[in-house]
Amino acid sequence: MGVEPFLSKAEAATDHTVDLAKVLEDTRKALDKAAEWMKASADATHSDAPSYSVVSLKPNAVELKLPKTLKIHPVVNVSRVKPYKGPLEGQTITRPRPVVGHEGNEEFKVDYIADSHLKRNRLEYLVHWKGYHDEDRTWEPESALKTAPGAVRDFHHQNPSAPQKLCGMDSSLFSSLFQPLENFTNTVPTFNRLEVDF
């Protein structure tokens, strides 16, 4: 492997090389031991999802029968619970493969946009990908959706109050939106003395 080191005539250089090889071997053993310890530690705290069952249904809430180890309130809103619909027996799940774009990059097709929000002053969209389920939706930055302007336009047409980027507005028009208000109150008195009728 590579260039084989030649034996030096200097005894100190040979001793130093042997010492470095020993240090390297000890370091590798210590790293392997640390990796095993971390794996054992992580596996000890890991547990499978606990089983639960629905005890009672209320109009807007579901009471769950949970194990005692879970220290959470057992009553949750029905919007937080949905029945599991797994694949049928013997059914294999196939996901659509990404489309290769014009630059050779893999791209997924946007089916529609479900939501938008500002995160750290950046506009992000919740994208529903074509051929995928609701749980596969992802938050994508606005810059990643340049290939799907129609989906963005449709989303903002259906949701005009959703956060969106202001585009096509120059600074003069933007500054004209915010002008100081004039004071319309009259500070000059209308009469100089009090007039009283007897």
Q: Which CATH class is domain 99-176?
A: mainly beta
Residue 127 to residue 109: CA distance in whole angstroms: 10
Q: Is the pLDDT of residue 195 over 80?
A: no
CA separation, residue 74 to residues 66, 67, 84 (Å)? 7, 10, 19
Counting other chains too, the contacts that 40-43 makes at CB distance below 8 Å and 24 or more residues apart are none
- pTM recorded for the entire structure: 0.40
Q: Bridge partners of 141?
A: 124
Between CA 148 and CA 156 the distance in angstroms is: 13
Residue 121 · residue 131 · CB < 8 Å: no
With bands split at pLDDT 50, 70 and 90, how would you rate the model's confidence at 150?
A: very high
Whether the per-residue pLDDT at 25 is higher than 90: the answer is: yes
Say whether pLDDT at 169 is over 70.
no
pLDDT of 187: 64
Residue 171 predicted with pLDDT over 60: no
| Band (74; pLDDT cuts 50, 70, 90) | confident
Position 154 scores a pLDDT of 93
Among the ranges 101-105, 159-163, 181-185, which has the highest mean pLDDT value? 159-163
**pLDDT tens digit sequence for 101-115:** 666 666 788 999 999
Q: What is the pLDDT of residue 50?
A: 62
Between residues 89 and 33, the one the model is more confident about = 33
Q: Residues spanned by CATH 2.40.50.40 within the chain? A: 99-176
Six token digits for residue 78? 């029905």
Residue 55 neighbours by CB under 8 Å, 6+ apart: 63, 64, 65, 74
What mean pLDDT is reported for the chain?
Answer: 78
